[in-house]
Amino acid sequence: MSELKSIRVDGLGKCYRIGAQRRKAQTGIVALRNSLMAPLAYLKQKMTAATEEETLWALRDVSFDVRPGEIVGIVGRNGAGKSTLLKILSRITDPTAGHAEIRGRINALIEVGTGFHPDLTGRENVYLSAAIHGMRKAVVDAHLDDIVEFSGVAKFLDTPVKRYSSGMTVRLGFAVAAHLNPEVLLVDEVLAVGDADFRKKSLGKMPGVAASGRTVLIVSHNMGAILSLCTRAILLEDGRLVADGVAQEVVSTYLSRGATHSGEAHGNEMLRPGQKLKIRRLRALNVQGNVAGEFQKSRGVCIEVVFDVLEPGRGYVVNLQLFSLEFGCILTTSSWDSDVDSGAQRRWEEGRHVARIMLPTELLRGGEYWVKATSAMPGVSVLDEMDEELRFVLMDSDSPLAKHAEGRRGVILPILAWDIRRDDEGRTTKKGGV
Amino acid sequence: MADTKNTRILRVHPAKGLVPLNMAELWEYRELLLFLLWRDIKGRYKQTAFGPLWILGGPLINMVLLSLIFGKLAKLPSEGIPYPLFAYSALLPFGLFSSSLTGTATSLLDNSGLISKVYFPRLITPLLPVLSAFVNFSASFLILLGMVFAYGFMPGVEILCLPLFLLLAAMTGLAVGLWWASWIVHFRDLRDVLQYIVKAWMYASPVVYSSSIIVDRFGPEWMPLYRLNPIVTVVDGVRWCLLGVGQGPDSMLVFSYIVVFLLLLGGAFAFCRAERTIVDIA
């Protein structure tokens, strides 16, 4: 019975056909001829087999097994094939090669609130979303109270979902998902959304799911979440499985590979309709103002965040979270903090903004760090969230602590002043006592 | 191996050849079909002053316009039936067919947001517009019945044959739509082509004219060819059920059912084959 596997993946591959580069037309006549011939060219492309340069293997020859009850994190850079893997396992798309076997009922959370209709009420959407995930109405009836309580939107249950803040929508969507009770659960970056409190609650729900013998596969860019939830992790790179093992080791491998310490990270290009703020870039700068991936603790690190305000307004906040591999989230700093003195919130004008923040490196231990940028209107909605994080290494070779800090415990490593005096009075009392 | 009996094993592998239809799974998801139908209907009438009254209101306005235009202006032979009634009794079953067809044909595209995010039997998406078309039809049918009585007609027991023709109309729409959906995934142009096909199909069916015209103008030897179009049988059949003109159930109805059923079966396979790739190219 120990041979029993919850998920068996064998040689899985997915090949996409991408358009080959077209040469640009040189003259008007050629351009006209090209557009007239376009239907034929399109047909020809559809009918013929794809050539080598037209294909892209999003996933190639991936094999692994998962035992029942295991929580496995899938890490890798954008485009490494993580989401493709989940989509194949959840039957949203077919593999091109290889096969997989999944034992038991499976549910995939690729997106929270899938199938929500904005005009329907929260209650109606709970039933709808549950039905889309294959849950019977009778089962939802039995769990409705739990779902509502978990979501924390009880008061608005009979309000159309379009009046919800995006945070509330996410909470309701996740509450449904959390009660699906599949034997195998696939989660794609779902934990990246929602406010901090709810995220904690969701994270709390995950190990509970696995403790009851369920198998969970999580895709996330949030290394903190992977480390706190998963016992095991799989690293994908360009569609191939390059590491599989203890979560901490795999995450460390991921962080140390390739150009991950470039000291620069970019936001994606996607804009939601009505988006108010977009984070474009994160950079780590040294004292000279140059981008770097490695820093001396004694010289300081400056984080630069570039964002575009797309709609002028009040109440926007940009947050930076600093993580360490060993300890998870070390601190969160917010653009709000600089408004504290004036007591009022800053009014944001439309256009590009650049913010620079000095990190308190005098407090930090040497090691690998990463920074995540998010933006929100606190208590109202999430505005933007970068999926790529900025990574850098903090070295300590010239501070007074460099030599003898080894083995000390604690999240931070500040140099605190010890006021030490010889206590003569104490000594006399002691003597007198004897 | 005691517990392997009740846990099912899901196998994921590349699609090759015919993808099985998996009707059992479709049946398991029947609740979803009803939920989605209910979502569409409910969502459509939210924030409207008259709400679900629009289900009746739309067809009512249609009927009034039709009566005004065709009752007074255009004069086409209508076998002694008042023209508005004659046309409306055909427009309804034709609408059942055409909205089944267009809804089914674009169902994969319309639902690509859902399809790329969660797994469910994809055959649900083309069935949804067909059910929706039946809901709309039922409302319009009440108006039609009112009209039939208002003009002094009294349908006899023939009306019991009505479902036979309506089912054929919806099945034809579904069958053609499934084939169309499997091509539209690759060639979006077909979405625009479809509306012209529907228009042409309407003129190829005795909707605004009477099928007796065909015999009068071209001769009876053209009738069998004309009636290869199942919608001719549908329209003539509905008129026969309600108004006593046209053509009741005959051998052509059986023939149409056989052809449409085969077309439907093939369409379902073509659809299931196309559905596996839409996520990658849509």
Domain termination residue (choose one: A202, A229, A256): A256
pLDDT mean over B20-45: 85
**Residue B277 backbone phi and psi in degrees, to 5:** -105, -10
Q: pLDDT exceeding 90 applies to what percent of chain A? A: 20
Verify that A222 and A310 share a domain, yes or no: no
Query: Above 90 in pLDDT, residue A62?
Result: yes
Verify that A82 and A98 share a domain, yes or no: yes
Tokens of A113: 């609130």
- Asked if residue A211 belongs to a domain, the reply is yes
Verify that A135 and A244 share a domain, yes or no: yes
- Chain B residues in contact with A124 (beta carbon < 8 A): 39, 42
Verify that A277 and A376 share a domain, yes or no: yes
Angle at A119 between CA A314 and CA A173, to 5 degrees: 75
Please answer whether residues A13 and A57 qualify as being in contact, where contact means their C-beta atoms are separated by less than 8 angstroms. yes
In the predicted model, what is the mean pLDDT of chain B?
A: 86
Verify that A227 and A311 share a domain, yes or no: no
- Asked if residue A28 belongs to a domain, the reply is no
Domain termination residue (choose one: A225, A256, A287): A256
- Asked if residue A32 belongs to a domain, the reply is no
Per-residue pLDDT of A115-150, as tens digits, reads 788 888 888 889 888 888 888 888 889 888 888 888
Domain termination residue (choose one: A201, A231, A256): A256
- Asked if residue A113 belongs to a domain, the reply is yes
Per-residue pLDDT of A386-428, as tens digits, reads 877 888 888 777 777 766 776 778 888 888 889 998 887 766 5
Q: Which one is predicted more confidently, A254 or B192?
A: B192
Of A46, A114, A131, the CB nearest to B35: A131
Name the 3-class secondary structure at B11: strand
Our CA-based measurement puts residue A129 at a distance from the nearest CA of chain B, in whole angstroms, of: 9
- Chain B residues in contact with A16 (beta carbon < 8 A): 280
Amino acid (1-letter code) at residue A339 = D
Per-residue pLDDT of B105-134, as tens digits, reads 999 888 888 888 888 899 999 999 999 999
Our CA-based measurement puts residue A175 at a distance from the nearest CA of chain B, in whole angstroms, of: 17
pLDDT mean over A218-240: 83
pLDDT level of residue B56 (50, 70, 90 thresholds): confident
Return the pLDDT at B169: 96
Q: For testing the chain A interface, which of B7, B12, B189 should be mutated: the one with the most A CBs within 10 Å?
A: B12
Query: The pTM is what?
Result: 0.72
Of A94, A117, A120, the CB nearest to B15: A94
Pairing of strands A313-314, A184-188: unpaired
Contact B9 A101 (CB under 8 A): yes
Q: What is the DSSP letter of B18?
A: P
- Chain A residues in contact with B115 (beta carbon < 8 A): 92
**What CATH number does the domain containing A344 carry?**
2.70.50.60
- Asked if residue A414 belongs to a domain, the reply is no
Contact B9 A108 (CB under 8 A): no
- Asked if residue A384 belongs to a domain, the reply is yes
The count of structural domains within chain A is: 2
Verify that A91 and A226 share a domain, yes or no: yes
B11 touches chain A (CB under 8 A): yes
- Chain A residues in contact with B14 (beta carbon < 8 A): 94-99
Verify that A241 and A113 share a domain, yes or no: yes
Owning domain of residue A180: 7-14+56-256
Query: Above 70 in pLDDT, residue A260?
Result: no
Per-residue pLDDT of A77-111, as tens digits, reads 777 888 889 989 988 888 889 999 998 888 888 77
- Asked if residue A137 belongs to a domain, the reply is yes
Please report, for residues A312, B97, B100, the alpha-carbon distance to residue B173 in angstroms, rounded to integers and kept in the order given. 50, 5, 5
In the predicted model, what is the mean pLDDT of chain A?
A: 81
Query: Which value does ipTM take for this structure?
Result: 0.79
Of A16, A90, A120, the CB nearest to B119: A90
Please answer whether residues A322 and A365 qualify as being in contact, where contact means their C-beta atoms are separated by less than 8 angstroms. no
Pairing of strands A277-285, A215-219: unpaired
**Residue A112 backbone phi and psi in degrees, to 5:** -80, 140
Name the 3-class secondary structure at B10: strand
Return the pLDDT at A191: 58
Return the pLDDT at B238: 95
Query: Above 60 in pLDDT, residue B1?
Result: no
Return the pLDDT at B116: 84
Return the pLDDT at B164: 94
Range with the lowest mean pLDDT among A8-17, A26-35, A291-300, B168-177?
Answer: A26-35
Q: Which one is predicted more confidently, B276 or B89?
A: B89
Verify that A275 and A210 share a domain, yes or no: no
- Asked if residue A218 belongs to a domain, the reply is yes
**What CATH number does the domain containing A229 carry?**
3.40.50.300
d(CA A124, CA A128): 6
Query: Above 90 in pLDDT, residue A10?
Result: yes
Verify that A296 and A246 share a domain, yes or no: no
Tokens of B180: 């169309």
Please answer whether residues A303 and A372 qualify as being in contact, where contact means their C-beta atoms are separated by less than 8 angstroms. no
Among chain B residues, the shortest Cα distance to A15 is held by: B280
Verify that A287 and A194 share a domain, yes or no: no
HSE-up of residue A79 (Cα within 13 Å, Cβ side): 6
Contact A99 B32 (CB under 8 A): no
Return the pLDDT at A65: 93
Query: Above 70 in pLDDT, residue A335?
Result: yes
Return the pLDDT at A85: 92
Our CA-based measurement puts residue B266 at a distance from the nearest CA of chain A, in whole angstroms, of: 21
Per-window interface: B 160-219 vs A, CB < 8 A = 186
Please answer whether residues A170 and A193 qualify as being in contact, where contact means their C-beta atoms are separated by less than 8 angstroms. yes
Return the pLDDT at A188: 81
Verify that A135 and A238 share a domain, yes or no: yes
Verify that A175 and A273 share a domain, yes or no: no
SS (H, E, C) chain A: CCCCCCEEEEEEEEEEECCCCCCCCCCHHHHHHHHHHHHHHHHHHHHCCCCHHHEEEEEEEEEEEECCCCEEEEECCCCCCHHHHHHHHCCCCCCCEEEEEEECCEEEECCCCCCCCCCCEHHHHHHHHHHHCCCCHHHHHHHHHHHHHHHCCHHHCCCEHHHCCHHHHHHHHHHHHHCCCCCEEEEECHHHCCCHHHHHHHHHHHHHHHHCCCEEEEECCCHHHHHHHCCEEEEEECCEEEEEEEHHHHHHHHHHCHHHHCCEEECCCCCCCCCCEEEEEEEEECCCCCECCEEECCCCEEEEEEEEECCCEECCEEEEEEEECCCEEEEEEEHHHHHCCCCCCCEECCEEEEEEEEECHHHCCCEEEEEEEEEEECCCEEEEECCCCEEEEEECCCCCCCCCCCCCCCCCCCCCCCCCCCCHHHHHHHHHHC
Range with the lowest mean pLDDT among A145-159, A214-228, A253-267, B138-152?
Answer: A253-267
Residues of A contacting chain B (CB within 8 angstroms): 16, 46, 87-106, 108, 110-111, 114-115, 117, 119-120, 124, 127-128, 131-134, 136-137, 160, 183
Q: Which residues contact B9 (CB under 8 A, 6 or more apart)?
A: A101, A102, A103
Of B42, B120, B276, the CB nearest to A134: B120
Chains A, B: CB contacts under 8 A, how many? 101
Pairing of strands A184-188, A215-219: parallel
Per-window interface: B 51-80 vs A, CB < 8 A = none
Query: Above 70 in pLDDT, residue A319?
Result: yes
